[in-house]
Structure 1
Amino acid sequence: DSEPIQRIVRISPNGKLMATGGLDGVVRLWKFPHLTKIHDLEAHTKEIDDIDFNHDGSLVASIAKDSRAIVWDVTKGTKSQELSWTPPAGGKYMYKRLRFRIPTDKKSKPQLFILSNSIVPKKPSYLQLWDLEQGLIVRSTSFRETLSAIAVSDDGKFVAVGTMFSGSVDIFIAFSLQRVLHVPGAHSMFVTGLEFIPSKMDGPPITSNSEAAVVSISVDNRICIHSIPYRHTLPFWLVIIFIILSICGAFTLCSYLGI
């Protein structure tokens, strides 16, 4: 018998594992690059739409056209948890894309970004940030159109989203989902892929004077780079000096007025 078509492929961050998602709804784990099968992860009833490893390769998450999101234990080859939520106003939603958030420190909890699109027209779509320890959505931001692509920066600071109809690209601060860049109509058709440029590179930088940059592609045959300018902030010591001077100035003014 021929093997089912595998339409999604992801390599673990350490390069030792590969996950594939098939039309049969099965996630297959392989040793990489030897391609020796380790586990068949069976739970989905329809074809896999997206899969992703967490930062250390201990977990893999999958979403499928059966509207289910499942997190798997890679070592045991078993289901760790299934994520579910109650859409507003009884709407019907389907998960589109997912990416693990890369932790910014050793104490960071495992978190997962998921794009959820409404099956019913004219309903908002959502970028959701899930806390896997609680199994709950801790941050969410809505869009007026269908979402099609997602990427997370390698330092865990930013997440980017591409849209279906307007071809727009948005970049958010990862932990707060505060929008820091909006590029309307970046493409004339829907965004098919996003990827952040590595924050640390041995060669010359592709972009200059930017905090982060994301590459977007589309069926309009264009490749675009979207950069976030450095956000200028005051040094902490300067803020302290300003506060001290303000307090001294207030006391001086009160003394002068005899208050």
Structure 2
Amino acid sequence: MEVEEHAAGQEGPVTCAAWIRRPENRLLVIKGRAGSGAVPPLLEIFSFDAKTSSLSPAPLAKFAIREEGGDPLGFAVHPSGDEIVCSTAKGCKLFELNSQDIDIRLLAKDLPPLQSVGPQKCLAFSTDGSKFATGGMDGHLRILQWPSLQVLLDEPRAHKSFRDMDISLDSEFLVSTSIDGSARVWKISDGVPLVSLTRTPDEKIECCRFSRDGMKPFLFCTVQKGGNVVTAVWDISTWNRIGYKRILRKPISVLSVSLDGKYLALGSHDGDICVVEVKKMAICHWSKKLHLGARITSIEFCPTERVVISTSNQWGAAVTKLNVPADWKEWQIYLLLLGLFLASAVLFYIIHENSDSFWNFPLGRNQPARPLMQAFVRDPQFSDDQSPW
């Protein structure tokens, strides 16, 4: 586990972080730092070492945001790894990432529909990268076609103020939650609200994530009722709640799901993170006081490793290796198949060498040795002298 702390008087604290999966199978991490004194807000790119589950000691690239109120609030990274949208107090900024070997550069680009829309609490690309959505602190929902930036939905009064948001695996639905505890599902292609998730008057739906395994069409939400917090599950074919479980017995600030859909991660208001195996809905990893009592502001699974990165305003970013079974790598699967093939070939050879061949059966009455089982059944109408053999 690697934790970064902010030293007073130097660069500002880390406010957000996200993984970047490059086309050349290289993993990077982008961090956003708030401005501090004469030091402007910064974006920093780090490399990730899968063997040690740690980031490079120094950033590979930096980009200064030289404008008032430019502190980064959150990131959305395009699935291609080439584009990054950053939310600030004034609106959204688009950055293009260019990398050649160890040379990495961030280039600022225009993002006309979102440049001056105010702070956006939620940012999300669809899994295929064709849709981009933002949910503002003012409750304004925008869904754009990417990269054309054609507006698919523009709803100024989607919520009182956004709490969380996610896009389904097939890019068909968007779910959003509000600070007042309500939750709505939107049909992206039609650009209209589809349904409001049912809740009792004393319930508040807070965090939300769609399932990602492609097999079970579920929606996971954290629901607070009084002093109790549960993780509830909705069936997205009917939008009915089908069950719930009390996992982390404390208020939950963030929820995330792994790209393969096998795990959920929950972050608490007092610095804990726990990881849940979706199949059993049981905790398989728990890091207590990871951020030493500070509220977890973001948590995100690594695209290729069982590692998460989490952030808090007080303690910055933490990279944590999860205590869960390692996944099979592609080369391990091919090696297993090769081993099974060779084992089958050896077994076949052993059986062939230690068994009688049909064509080597001795014939006639003067057999030097008879097989344990007769190859043929003698017809009783033939005597030994009349046998055709």
Which category of TM-score, normalised to the shorter sequence, fits these structures? 0.7 to 0.9
What is the match of residue 369 of structure 2? none
- 1:174 paired with 2:278, answer yes
1:228 partner SS: coil
CA deviation map 1:31-79 (0-9, x unaligned): 1223221212466440111111001111111111232111111111122
Aligned-pair Cα RMSD in Å: 2.3
CA distance in 2, matches of 1:37, 1:75: 11
Q: 1:111 aligns with which of 205, 213, 218?
A: 218
TM-score normalized by the length of structure 1: 0.72
Q: 1:194 aligns with which of 293, 296, 299?
A: 299
Note the 1:76-225 alignment, pairs <5 A: 76-86=190-200, 92-105=202-215, 108=216, 110-118=217-225, 120=226, 123-134=227-238, 135-165=240-270, 167-188=271-292, 189-199=294-304, 212-219=306-313, 220-225=315-320
**What displacement does 1:5 show?**
4.5
1:143 partner SS: coil
Identity of aligned residues (%): 25
- 1:33 paired with 2:140, answer no
CA distance in 2, matches of 1:45, 1:191: 23
CA distance in 1, matches of 2:234, 2:245: 9
CA distance in 1, matches of 2:152, 2:191: 8
Higher RCO (CA-CA < 8 Å; seq separation 6+): 2
What is the match of residue 229 of structure 1? 324
**What displacement does 1:80 show?**
1.9
CA distance in 1, matches of 2:159, 2:317: 35
**What displacement does 1:4 show?**
5.7
CA distance in 1, matches of 2:164, 2:320: 24
CA contact 2:265–2:273 (8 Å) conserved in 1 = yes
- 1:75 paired with 2:170, answer no
1:229 partner SS: coil
CA deviation map 1:220-259 (0-9, x unaligned): 1241313133289xxxxxxxxxxxxxxxxxxxxxxxxxxx
- Which segments of structure 1 move beyond 4 Å, counting only runs of 4 or more? 2-5
State which drifts further: 223-232 or 124-133.
Answer: 223-232
TM-score normalized by the length of structure 2: 0.50
CA distance in 2, matches of 1:222, 1:175: 29
CA distance in 1, matches of 2:249, 2:296: 15
Q: 1:59 aligns with which of 173, 182, 185?
A: 173
2:223 partner SS: strand
2:323 partner SS: strand
State which drifts further: 172-181 or 49-58.
Answer: 172-181
CA distance in 2, matches of 1:56, 1:12: 8
**What displacement does 1:214 show?**
1.9
Larger Rg: 2
CA contact 1:213–1:228 (8 Å) conserved in 2 = no
Query: Aligned in 2, Cα 1:197/1:4: closer, same or farther, shift over 3 Å?
Result: closer
For structure 1, the 5+ residue unaligned runs are 200-206, 233-259
Query: Aligned in 2, Cα 1:44/1:66: closer, same or farther, shift over 3 Å?
Result: farther
For these two proteins, the number of residue pairs brought into alignment is 209
2:286 partner SS: strand
What is the match of residue 41 of structure 2? none
